[in-house]
Amino acid sequence: MAGEVLLEARKVVKGFPGVWEHLILDHIDFDVRAGEVHALLGENGAGKTVLANILSGFYSLSSGELIVKGKNVRFKSPADAIRHGIGMVHQEFTLAPPLTVVENVALTLRRSNPLSYPLKKIEEKIRELSQRYGLKVDPHEKVENLSLGERQRVEIIKVLYWEPRILILDEPTSVLTLEESKELFQILRKMAEEGKGIVFITHKLEEIMEVADRVTVLRLGKKMGTLKVAETSRSELLKLMLGELTPVSYQRAPAKETRKPVLQVENLTVLDDDGRVAVKNVSLEVREGEILGVAGVSGNGQKELVEALTGLRKAASGKLIVNGVDLTNRSPRRFAQTGVRHIPEDRRRTGVVEEMVTAENIMLREYREKPFSVFGVINKGAVTELAQKLVTSFGVLTPDLWDTEVRILSGGNIQRLILARELWKEPKLLIAFHPTYGLDLKAISQTHRLFMNLREKGSAILLISEDLEEIFLLSDRIAVMYNGELVGVMKSDEATVERVGKMMTGMKSSA
């Protein structure tokens, strides 16, 4: 099958300043051979992107060795890695939208004089690459007119331009449709047949079964093994990826069946930014004093679901009722007035207004109301008093209430600020999206306790999280979202990690 070893990583360690207590990569061995697609599998935060960045010269390693064709190397930059035949396609695109495909590729030459770009030559090369691998793209089209799939082809061509022996792709399918993914897989196979070594990062098992020769599984910075795809199974990979998790959940009084439904969603369908169906015909209900956990690998429609449930995105069809009020396609403000609170995934962009100061951010929801505002004039005294109380009780570290723009706060403190603002009034319904992502352990357990308290007091909570431990810890019932659909809802005491995990990866659950 595979040929010579093109690149080898030995005992690679990566720690970041301030987060040394756990290594981001803990003595990882990894190699890529000519002619293979080597998948890198792991949950979010496993360390896949960091490893890829080390292999391609974007990050330095804290210790360990990189060996290219038998020789020890140390990359000083991505350009250095390219010279050694290693190129990477990042998850975030780095294209200039107003420029054409040719111009975008030209930019990678980094010439100081734009007149010296050999545009004709670049165009020929693009056509040749596009022929050779089936990467359809019009060299003269502006990038802003291209679909996501086409933009990705441009990103790939940009790297292939340098004729790398090794191509690393970081979650390339996350922006693609199923059909586009299949096309990409053909391209990857083609490159492998040609003798390149491909590193393909994903957290989707079925993609590995389809395209990879070998797979290396990472979990929380540790390598769980490297296996031949032909000799493993989805369930083996799933176990390596998730670990032997024994679910624990908080002690609680059972939610009474007689409690009133707070959130009722009926046959909700929601489109994503490109007009594709992201949420398919979802129906669910959350009652007073109940936590419904929605497990799932991100990118399966969770973002669009949350946005629809908070008024940030229109529903294409279906119905959405909160506390008996039909809120289908009403404004975010109307959702808020009905008692819906939201902990968004994207804290900086959706969760706060970065240019505003701490006190203003804490009062975003209520500044129009008495006593915080009287006849349209902000009552600074009342705002300060509450803001001070909340900052203290939620542990938001901020130098000042009125002088500190929120942009300078750390991610953890911004999250605490959002929790303070959204939770202090005991919401009727809380939509919490990855509420503890990136928090330290103490802050995580504080947040969990807050949620359990709200539950006791009768709030309905919809918890959307990729973290299975969190889902099991908090939920009364667990639903799984896969490919835009809710593929199962079960009481948490009837759920097992294996069952939920299988559903998360698109395997039909047998029981």
Ligand X SMILES: Nc1ncnc2c1ncn2[C@@H]1O[C@H](COP(=O)(O)OP(=O)(O)O)[C@@H](O)[C@H]1O
Of residues 305, 30, 298, 54, the one with CA closest to residue 173: 298
Query: At its nearest, how many Å lie between Mg ion and the CB of residue 58?
Result: 12
What letter represents residue 155's amino acid? Answer: E
Query: At its nearest, how many Å lie between ligand X and the CB of residue 16?
Result: 3
CB count within 10 Å of CB 95 equals 19
Question: Does residue 465 touch Mg ion according to CB under 5 A?
Answer: no
28 versus 343: smaller Cβ distance to ligand X: 28
439 versus 489: smaller Cβ distance to ligand X: 439
Contacts of the segment 14-23: beta carbons below 8 A, 24+ positions apart: 14/47, 14/50, 14/51, 14/54, 14/59, 14/61, 14/62, 14/221, 15/62, 22/220, 22/221, 23/62, 23/221
Question: Does residue 484 touch ligand X according to CB under 6 A?
Answer: no
Q: Which residues pair with 100 in a beta bridge?
A: 142
45 binds, among Mg ion, ligand X, none (CB under 5 to 8 A by kind): ligand X
Question: Does residue 289 touch ligand X according to CB under 6 A?
Answer: no
46 binds, among ligand X, Mg ion, none (CB under 5 to 8 A by kind): ligand X
Q: Classify residue 267 as left (phi > 0), alpha (psi -120 to 50) or beta.
A: left
Measured between its terminal Cα atoms, the distance across the chain in Å is: 37
Query: At its nearest, how many Å lie between ligand X and the CB of residue 123?
Result: 34
Question: Does residue 16 touch ligand X according to CB under 6 A?
Answer: yes
24 binds, among ligand X, Mg ion, none (CB under 5 to 8 A by kind): ligand X
Which contiguous run of DSSP H or E holds residue 305? helix 302-309
Q: What residue number has its CB nearest to ligand X?
A: 49
Query: At its nearest, how many Å lie between Mg ion and the CB of residue 230?
Result: 26
Question: Does residue 419 touch ligand X according to CB under 6 A?
Answer: no
Which contiguous run of DSSP H or E holds residue 107? helix 101-107
* Interacting positions 47-66 with Mg ion (CB under 5 A): 49
48 versus 365: smaller Cβ distance to ligand X: 48
Q: Which residue has the tokens 């919401």?
A: 427
Q: Which of 3, 4, 11, 19 is the binder for ligand X (CB under 6 A)?
A: 19
SS3 489: strand
Query: At its nearest, how many Å lie between ligand X and the CB of residue 497?
Result: 20
49 versus 361: smaller Cβ distance to Mg ion: 49
Query: At its nearest, how many Å lie between ligand X and the CB of residue 264?
Result: 34
* 3 state SS for 353-405: CCCCEHHHHHCCCCCCCCCCEECCEECHHHHHHHHHHHHHHHCCCCCCCCCCE
402 binds, among Mg ion, ligand X, none (CB under 5 to 8 A by kind): none
Measure the CA–CA gap between 447 and 358, rounded to whole angstroms: 20
* Interacting positions 27-66 with ligand X (CB under 6 A): 42, 44-50
223 versus 287: smaller Cβ distance to Mg ion: 223
Question: Does residue 492 touch Mg ion according to CB under 5 A?
Answer: no
Determine phi and psi for 484, rounding to 5 degrees.
85, -10
45 versus 261: smaller Cβ distance to ligand X: 45
Q: Which residues pair with 430 in a beta bridge?
A: 341, 461
Query: At its nearest, how many Å lie between Mg ion and the CB of residue 294?
Result: 21
* Interacting positions 170-209 with ligand X (CB under 6 A): none
Of residues 130, 148, 147, the one with CA closest to residue 139: 130
Site residues for Mg ion per CB under 5 A = 49
Report the interface residues with ligand X, using CB under 6 A: 16, 19, 24, 42, 44-50
